[in-house]
Amino acid sequence: MTKQFALGIFEDEDVLLHAVENVRAAGVKIHDVFSPYPVHGIDDALGIERSRLPIAAFFFGMTGLAFSLWLQIYMLGFDWPMIIGGKPHISLPAFVPVSFELTVFFTCHGMAITFFIISGLYPRFKVPVMDVRATDDKFVMAIELDETSSQLPRLTQLLRENGASEVNQKEMTQN
Amino acid sequence: MATLTHQESATAEHLVVTDGARKTFLAIIITGVVIMVLGILASVLGWGAAEHTEAAGHTAAAANGAAHEGGPIWLKRLIISLWHSNLFFLGVSTVGTVFMAINYVAYAGWSVMVKRIAEALSAWVIPGGVIMLIVFLVGRHDIFHWTHEGIMEKGNANYDAIIAGKSGFLNLPFYVIRMVSYLVIWGAFSWKLRQLSLKEDLLGGTYWFHKSITASALFLVLYAVTSSMSAWDWVMSVDPHWFSTLFGWYVFASWWVSGIAAIALTAIFLKQAGYLRALTSSHLHDLGKLMFGFSIFWTYVWFSQFMLIWYANLPEEAVYFNQRLGGFDGRYTGMFYFNIAINFVFPFLGLMTRDAKRQMIVMKIVAIAILIGHWSDFYLMLMPGTLKGENGFLIEIGVAAIFLGAFLILFTRRLASASLVPVNHPFLDESIHHTT
């Protein structure tokens, strides 16, 4: 399915931030904003909800902790018991470092993978990019158009009034 | 969208310490005195200790006679608790300067809003240092076993070969020289950074800022060495046979997280009293992250020390945890677990979510818990080595309350003596617009 987008190109992050506020105030729904680096306050300006990633992180951490405890208790307590330093086979203080490391390991890998999946950043042959200059020095605001692109003239004017240096139309294939 | 609206630039705010607040501080001191006197009475009259001595019988009495070198037990407890509480408050006070110095060196902008609180914390460094010197000179025999007469002389009845082997480091002149130099370094840099900050308020310009960075960098290097060494001297040497190579870090972690908790707590109290108008939940969030992170850091250091000693199980090292876990009829065991619960489990679970760190009430409860918890941590470091099985709580809590009241009087006086917002700090605007 293809969709039409109006792309407002901005040169400056402050101009962009104010434009985001004004465009939203004018009742236009912004699809997304692309910037070369994280812009402070852009999440609030775009009205993006807080990520639920920390909740996922908590459960990844719990999984890691459970796995590491199972691993150590099963291996050192039942499968192949060994006497180390005269301690009991299952001695929790000795398990703390490994439990800690595996909790962190599961949490960070789980979070990074979850983030890539929900952001659509997995590897593929044709990468959809709105405007390649957003990876260099331009800020790109994308607004979704309907099939006939009838709002384009009005949007062009609105974006220009708010400091866009150019306004382009782009067709994107969405999967 | 708070980030985008232009706030008016922050102007000077002057704290007025109300009569009510002064009365509260005095009330804390008076309560402390009352509790302390009660504790001394309890100790002298032997309340609650009667059955203990009877059960212990002759052997304990004989051992006590040998261990005490004159002086009743209440006096010993009083001196040790003066040392203990002063150590805690002096550490928290110095951390104010350390916090400021780190933020200067890191070119941090967010912390400008709480900088004056950190500055004012160091009001206790000089009085605390003086008290520390006096307590050491008067009561060192009650605190430090290694200062006993003849303990380093061969042939003397008190001779102890292990302690004699440490005489190059643990001797009176060198100890006092070290102690004075730590205190002078901490006091001088606290004073210097405060003066530069006040001049900046008055005269403006970035000159003072750059000078502060130079002073901070120098201070941090010196503090890294002195904080570790002071921990060996002031805390670890109460157990002169025992040693732990990361003890300095352990004590520093305790001081540092308490200092941050004190800064956060003061910021919340000031905000709730209507001061620090530009302080937002974002600043609290950052202070909360530091409290959360350094509680974990403290636990990390604590556990690193514990696990190696537990695993190796060498008698000369394990004795430290034997005393605290089950030693002296298990009188420290409960506190040992309480220490981990309040200093690790509670802040870890309490401050885990973002919302908790941005809420004043949660931050307040956790900050108070951290302060109480690390005071108890110092209790646990000092008491088993000095008082053995004769520790108590009334005198210690009374002395802590006296220190708290006196600390608050000096702290608020210094807070009130300059604007709560450093109006000419170059990063002030960044701090006002800080978002996390």
Q: Which CATH class for the A2-50+127-173 domain?
A: alpha beta
Cβ pair B312:A21 closer than 8 A: no
- Name chain A contacts of B312, Cβ cutoff 8 Å: 85
- 10-residue mean pLDDT series, chain B (436 residues): 47 88 95 94 75 46 46 90 96 96 95 94 95 94 88 86 89 94 96 95 91 96 96 93 92 97 96 92 95 96 94 91 90 94 95 92 96 96 90 92 96 93 91 86
pLDDT score of B70: 59
Order across the sheet with A2-10: list the strands. Answer: A32-34, A139-145, A2-10, A166-173
Give the three-state DSSP class for A8: strand
Q: Which residues of A touch B2 (CB under 8 A)?
A: 44
Distance CA A83, CA A89 (A): 6
Q: How far apart are CA B218 and CA B106, in angstroms?
A: 13
Nearest CA in chain A to B306: A93
- pTM of the complete model: 0.88
**Residue B76: its pLDDT value, please?**
92
E-assigned strand segments in B187-232: none
> Within chain A, which residues score under 50 in pLDDT?
none
Do B4 and A18 make contact, defined as CB atoms within 8 angstroms? yes
Task: For residue B353, list chain A residues with Cβ-Cβ distance below 8 A.
Answer: 54
ipTM score here?
A: 0.78
The percent of residues above 90 in pLDDT, for chain A, comes to 49
Q: Compute the nearest-CA separation of B268 from chain A (Å).
A: 24
Tell me the one-letter amino acid at A129.
Answer: V
Alpha-carbon distance of B101 to B86, in angstroms, equals: 23
In this complex, which of A21, A40, A87 lies closest to B435 when CB atoms are compared? A40
Question: Are A90 and A77 within 8 A, CB to CB?
Answer: yes
- Which pLDDT value is given to residue A44? 86
Domain spans in chain A, listed from the N-terminal domain onward: 2-50+127-173, 53-118
What does residue A105 show for φ and ψ, rounded to 5 degrees? -60, -50
Cβ within 8 Å, pair B313-A86: yes
Is the CB of A96 less than 8 angstroms away from the CB of B354? no
Residue from A46, A53, A42 nearest B353 by CA: A53
Give the residue among B230, B199, B224 at the shortest CA–CA distance from B83.
B230
**Integer Cα distance of B91 and B98 in angstroms:** 10
**Residues in contact with B191: Cβ distance below 8 Å, sequence separation at least 6, in sequence order:** none
Supply the angle between the helices B281-312 and B360-386 in degrees, to the nearest 10: 30
Sequence letter at residue B31:
T
- The token pair at B176 is 């006092």
The closest of B95, B87, B52 to B376, measured between CA atoms, is: B87
Render pLDDT for A41-62 as a digit per residue (tens, 0 to 9).
888 889 888 888 999 999 999 9
Using alpha carbons, select from B113, B245, B267, B251 the residue that is nearest to residue B182: B251
Domain ranges of chain B: 19-47+70-432
- Check if the beta carbon of residue B287 is closer than 8 Å to that of residue B114: yes
